[in-house]
Amino acid sequence: MDLIESLAVKSEQKILLVVIDGLGGLPNKKDKTELEAAWNPNLNKLATRSALGLITPIDIGVTPGSGPAHLALFGYDPLAHQVGRGVLEALGVGLAIKPEDLCGRANFATTGSDGTLTDRRAGRIATELCEELCARLQKEIPRLEDIEVIVRPGIGHRFVVVFRGPGLGDGLTDSDPQHDGLRPAPVELASPAAAKSARVANAFIARCAELLRERAAANCVLLRGLALPPVLPSLRERFKLTPACIATYPMYRGLARLVGMDVLEAGSTWHSELAALRLHLPEYDFFFLHFKETDKAGEDGRFDTKQEFIETFDEEILPQLLALKLDVLCITGDHSTPAVMAGHSWHSVPVLLNSAYVRPQLVVEEFGERACVHGSLGHMPSVKLMQLLLANALKLKKFGA
Amino acid sequence: MDLIESLAVKSEQKILLVVIDGLGGLPNKKDKTELEAAWNPNLNKLATRSALGLITPIDIGVTPGSGPAHLALFGYDPLAHQVGRGVLEALGVGLAIKPEDLCGRANFATTGSDGTLTDRRAGRIATELCEELCARLQKEIPRLEDIEVIVRPGIGHRFVVVFRGPGLGDGLTDSDPQHDGLRPAPVELASPAAAKSARVANAFIARCAELLRERAAANCVLLRGLALPPVLPSLRERFKLTPACIATYPMYRGLARLVGMDVLEAGSTWHSELAALRLHLPEYDFFFLHFKETDKAGEDGRFDTKQEFIETFDEEILPQLLALKLDVLCITGDHSTPAVMAGHSWHSVPVLLNSAYVRPQLVVEEFGERACVHGSLGHMPSVKLMQLLLANALKLKKFGA
């Protein structure tokens, strides 16, 4: 990527990258994907004067999580820059984490009298109980040594713990042994730099066990995915962009923050996101605009709901985006979430690119997975998309003479 | 590329690589690219029995200069083998440069009485004056230490200087500070091997200032892009080819010489190039045939002129090339030069490959950027084209048993 960084220059042109989360799909029994089944007159009209293609998030056959899928879209090699599970969970609950924060995913769990696990999910306790227990742990364990402890509840038995303070290195094993009937393992060092981290994490586990020991179900905690946030050079440094994120969900806002985007106040609806875009349009030359609901519908296996969200985008959102007349408009997804699979998948993702400098296709008249096979952009890795957006915004100098 | 080199063998088959410079384009207001708008009955007929595709010169979104774009077509990784600006300029004025020649781009410029630059282009002096001044510098500065000095005029205020002799290492900074109002900088070492080079370059600048000091405008010179030619293994060594270049413009002839092609006397017209091809047909098994005018028309933003040059190729040149019945005929460009952008661009370049061993497309009936999207070759990096040509000429052994 040093090539692209070495060519990047400032320009007046503005780029809007619209990520419809989990956009890609698979045909249902009527032989249409969610995107193909949707009534999308605006997208299809735009497709005829845009360049289409397909992007592969990580590698052929590889199903991505949201973290690597977004890093690729932002132009970061997702294999070289891995985001630890604990970091993603912390971003997901909305914590504004700092570079030295050691983040872990935690579960409430049940151990029997012999110390072995009888239920790694503590009987899937209610979220309300999780919130109550987290508040207690936060109150009773504000610090360990010189380390601030931050506890945030998640859904059900899940919560997040962040250790904030000096000297916390990366490289720890999980305390969760992954199977009932085993003893929780102590957190161990995979790297010598993590000695203090391991000591603090194990002290946290021990203190929790003391505080919870009278409880029937949630009488201990398990930690996993303990990690520091990756150190990523910012989009400002790398590509001379002034970038902003417009997203309603904490995890995507956090991922954008990791690559140096300003995270705008965006409310909780697609229309409030649009309002944020309109308000801040003059201030930035790159916008990442994220729509989550398609992915959730796909994960839930609700084909019709995902289709309807796409239709809502076409009818209510796209005309307003087009009216803003940005120089480069790209509409794609981070990965595929086919409703027929009820989960993320490895399939390539349709992409639409509109600018003054595209070659539209000869015969394609819709924006859909199979129409994009015939797109003039061809197939490319997601990580290459950013450099194509920069080129279309005239933000890359010529290479060589 | 070691794989391809290890598989390369001699064969009787002959390859003709036709480079129509800047061939790729973008749609104009009538929604046709230059190539699509052209009346090309011969190319289109050939397309139906050829394999089509699109090649990416350097990387997605990257606009190439002529140097790297041609190296890629010749099968050389353009990122690993960069050609310095001074070398390209020296090739461009037709100097037959040697491996140890330190080549620089030079400008005549104006400094005021306080030594700061008042005009980095010396009032854009006429080419005739540039020629006169270069002749004077050449006469007065034939040598510096044991180094031969070669001065050649360019266009307007531009000229080329080559330092020839022992011990000139690479790695120098520019004396051109890039802005008026600053003093010209001394040439400095970016690498310790360049000590003698820096001394000689600065002595040249000082001698020029003495010789020019009475002049009102062109009273000093600025040097930039000082570089040695890259050391490239030849096409003969790498691919067992006996290669020849047929090109009218010096830079392309020079680039071909860098990769070990014999550079044939080709006159100054497309027809004289054809005559050279016919004359030397028995002697070589690889011909690089270069047509420049399409790129110039594109750079000047003259859509119709570029289109007409393509039509001339179709009507006057292609039938004669086909009559020669070479085993492998490939027609492509080094990069795109869309007239609507009046410059090089990052867009992929259409390629047509004809041999006894191609899979023509099912439905495509023309040679154009958007028809090539549906080509059987798909999208590929330009640097991979050479190995495909070798394969079609049966010049690559099987890999493995």
Quick: pLDDT tens for B53-64: 999 999 999 999
For residues A376-400, one letter each, b for 16 or more C-beta atoms within 10 angstroms of the residue's C-beta and e for the rest, the string is bbbbbbbbbbbbbbbbbbbbbebbb
The shortest CB-CB distance from A374 to any of B68, B78, B373 is to B373
Question: If you search the block for the tokens 């004809």, which residue do you land on?
Answer: B354
Whether the CB-CB separation of A326 and A392 falls below 8 Å is answered with: no
Confidence of residue A15 (pLDDT cuts 50, 70, 90): very high
What are the residues whose beta carbons fall under 8 Å from the beta carbon of A170, sequence distance 6 or more?
A84, A102, A191, A193, A194, A197, A227, A228
Q: Say yes or no for a CB contact (<8 Å) between A378 and B374.
A: no
* Intra-chain end-to-end CA distance of chain A, in Å: 20
Confidence of residue A362 (pLDDT cuts 50, 70, 90): confident
Residue A14 has pLDDT above 70, yes or no: yes
pLDDT at B323: 98
Residue B1 has pLDDT above 80, yes or no: no
Residue B278 has pLDDT above 70, yes or no: yes
A391, two tokens: 């080129």
User: Average of pLDDT values for A14-22?
Assistant: 98
pLDDT at B361: 92
d(CA B310, CA B321): 15
Angle at B300 between CA B296 and CA B303, to 5 degrees: 90
Of all residues in chain A, the one with the smallest CA distance to B344 is: A398
Q: Say yes or no for a CB contact (<8 Å) between B370 and A361.
A: yes
d(CA A46, CA A25): 20
Confidence of residue A200 (pLDDT cuts 50, 70, 90): very high
Identify all chain A residues contacting B30, using CB atoms and an 8 Å cutoff.
Answer: none
Share of chain A above pLDDT 70, in %: 100
Read off φ and ψ for residue A169, nearest 5 degrees. -85, 165
Mean pLDDT of chain B: 95
Identify all chain B residues contacting A392, using CB atoms and an 8 Å cutoff.
Answer: 61
Identify all chain A residues contacting B378, using CB atoms and an 8 Å cutoff.
Answer: 378
Quick: pLDDT tens for B75-88: 999 999 989 889 99
What sign for the dihedral angle of Cα B166, B170, B171, B177?
positive
Where does CATH 3.40.720.10 sit in chain A?
2-82+233-392
Nearest residue to A339 (alpha-carbon basis) of A81, A28, A3: A28
pLDDT at B28: 95
> Which of B58, B59, B251 best tests the A interface by mutation, with the highest count of A CBs <10 A?
B59
pLDDT at A355: 98
pLDDT at B191: 84
List the beta bridge partners of residue A379: A54
Identify all chain A residues contacting B369, using CB atoms and an 8 Å cutoff.
Answer: 359, 376
List residues in chain A touching B: CB distance below 8 A: 3-4, 7, 357-362, 374-376, 378-380, 384, 387-392, 396-401
Mean pLDDT of chain A: 95
Count CA atoms within 13 Å of residue A45 on its CB side.
9
Q: Say yes or no for a CB contact (<8 Å) between B346 and A376.
A: no
> Which of B60, B226, B383 best tests the A interface by mutation, with the highest count of A CBs <10 A?
B60
CATH of domain B2-82+233-392: 3.40.720.10
Confidence of residue A330 (pLDDT cuts 50, 70, 90): very high
Quick: pLDDT tens for A267-305: 999 999 999 999 999 999 999 999 999 999 999 999 999
Secondary structure (DSSP) of B9-33? ---S--EEEEEETTBB----TTS--
User: Average of pLDDT values for A165-184?
Assistant: 93
pLDDT at B377: 97
The shortest CB-CB distance from B61 to any of A359, A360, A388 is to A388
Quick: pLDDT tens for B134-143: 999 999 999 9
Quick: pLDDT tens for B148-157: 999 999 989 9
List the beta bridge partners of residue A54: A350, A379
Quick: pLDDT tens for B10-50: 999 999 999 999 999 999 999 999 999 999 999 999 999 99
B389, two tokens: 């040509």
Confidence of residue B116 (pLDDT cuts 50, 70, 90): very high
B396, two tokens: 């690559």
